[in-house]
Structure 1
């Protein structure tokens, strides 16, 4: 997902809500958007979700997107189960798969007993769970969450945390706004602040701007997946091992994806290099006699 020089205003003489916004969200990214009320966060997320078009600039978006709006319209002619089934069919699932996924998410959010209740008769909290469930039905390449946690009970908030982190770990992109500053803390790969229509970075994820080198072996059948968080550069090593080179902001998501897979991945080493080499790629820090010990991040015992 890439926004380039994006601006948005309503009407030819209306004030600019956004101006000159540039944002790239790569595979495996979990990106937070902050800013005061009225700063344009929801407008930015609607453009990212493809719900609105920018007044100026360009928006390159993945074909498969899912979106939880700030306000979900409950006055729709469906019950909860029927709405999820309908959205599943719209997203290309056959009837059986749409049914299966609808039942899964109704159960995951603890609302299976209200599956037959018309949306207009559901409580605000239950309606919000349906809104979140419809976005999680399919494995979208881009998941856009506009204060999706608001109105959810603690168990449902934790379930959404887990789903968002899992989507990024499996190579998707997640863009979110939430009023809780601790939301997904430690997992967010980048954060930005909107102020007076302009977007500026306010921090980076784990390992900052470093490049991380991960050497892995696969014990299970087949090679590593082609799609991995951060789109790492791959180098074959003697004995069938592979070195993955990824931006530090994506290193945690990459490790989660590797260790959660079904191929028996063994992480041989993990090295963080503070800054790229002159050719734009990291050098092998382990060959430098003067490499500081703090540049080497130990792999936890449970990961080995």
Structure 2
């Protein structure tokens, strides 16, 4: 992947009736490193990711690399009757990914995340951890240049957490990867940049 992939966030705020969820956030995410967005529950991390995705109206400006983007929210609602493999293939088609590429990628990720044994099971029969793995895969099925993950380690056991962290580390070498978490200590990666949000405001900008 050539060139610098970026997201520029310029004085972005999101206000609800009860007040600001995020206020006057200015920062820049770049490729070639793992971008950690940290903060307590309710600090505004998820709101910022939704603004980047265009899921919320906001004040300010967000500019980004014009390539494809993938998003794994903390909670992803999936059709309970569909199988894991069938659901992901349908997502790939919706995102206009090549069928052969989808099948190759799915087999590789199902093996990596130990999902092969449940590939044909309805999503409604999967554990929370298995559903989270499906969530992570749907975000990158179309091979986007930008990946946003909201608490990607949620519901995963220790072994799988380590696998996912290593996977994110490799993806961040070539793509722009943003991870929202309130457990930054789990990401023991040398090439990372940390942005901390406290009560809707950016407290720490790009320091690690």
Asked if 2 retains the 8 angstrom alpha-carbon contact of 1:105 and 1:137, the reply is no
Among 5, 12, 28, the residue aligned to 1:6: 12
* Structure with more relative contact order (C-alpha pairs < 8 Å, separation 6 or more): 2
Return 5+ residue gaps in structure 1 as ranges.
Answer: 206-304
Cα shift at 1:59: 1.4
RMSD between superposed Cα atoms in Å: 1.9
Corresponding residue for residue 100 of structure 1? 104
Corresponding residue for residue 4 of structure 2? none
Given the alignment of the two structures, is residue 22 of structure 1 paired with residue 22 of structure 2, yes or no? Answer: no
Cα shift at 1:154: 2.2
Distance in 1 (alpha carbons) for counterparts of 2:133 and 2:54: 21
Which has the larger helix fraction? Answer: 2
Distance in 2 (alpha carbons) for counterparts of 1:100 and 1:94: 10
Asked if 2 retains the 8 angstrom alpha-carbon contact of 1:75 and 1:119, the reply is yes
Cα shift at 1:182: 1.6
Cα shift at 1:75: 3.6
Distance in 2 (alpha carbons) for counterparts of 1:64 and 1:22: 22
Cα shift at 1:152: 0.9
Corresponding residue for residue 120 of structure 2? 116
Given the alignment of the two structures, is residue 31 of structure 1 paired with residue 63 of structure 2, yes or no? Answer: no
Query: Structure 1-normalised TM-score?
Result: 0.61
Tell which structure's C-alpha radius of gyration is larger: 1
Q: Secondary structure at the match of 1:86?
A: helix
Q: Which runs of 4+ in 1 moved over 3 A?
A: 74-77
Cα shift at 1:149: 0.4
Alignment CA distance shift 1:107-1:71 (3 Å): same
Corresponding residue for residue 262 of structure 1? none
Asked if 2 retains the 8 angstrom alpha-carbon contact of 1:30 and 1:187, the reply is no
Distance in 2 (alpha carbons) for counterparts of 1:98 and 1:116: 16
Asked if 1 retains the 8 angstrom alpha-carbon contact of 2:35 and 2:192, the reply is yes
Return 5+ residue gaps in structure 2 as ranges.
Answer: 1-6
Corresponding residue for residue 72 of structure 1? 76
Among 89, 104, 127, the residue aligned to 2:131: 127
Given the alignment of the two structures, is residue 84 of structure 1 paired with residue 92 of structure 2, yes or no? Answer: no
Distance in 2 (alpha carbons) for counterparts of 1:75 and 1:90: 15
Distance in 2 (alpha carbons) for counterparts of 1:131 and 1:187: 26
Among 51, 56, 61, the residue aligned to 2:59: 56
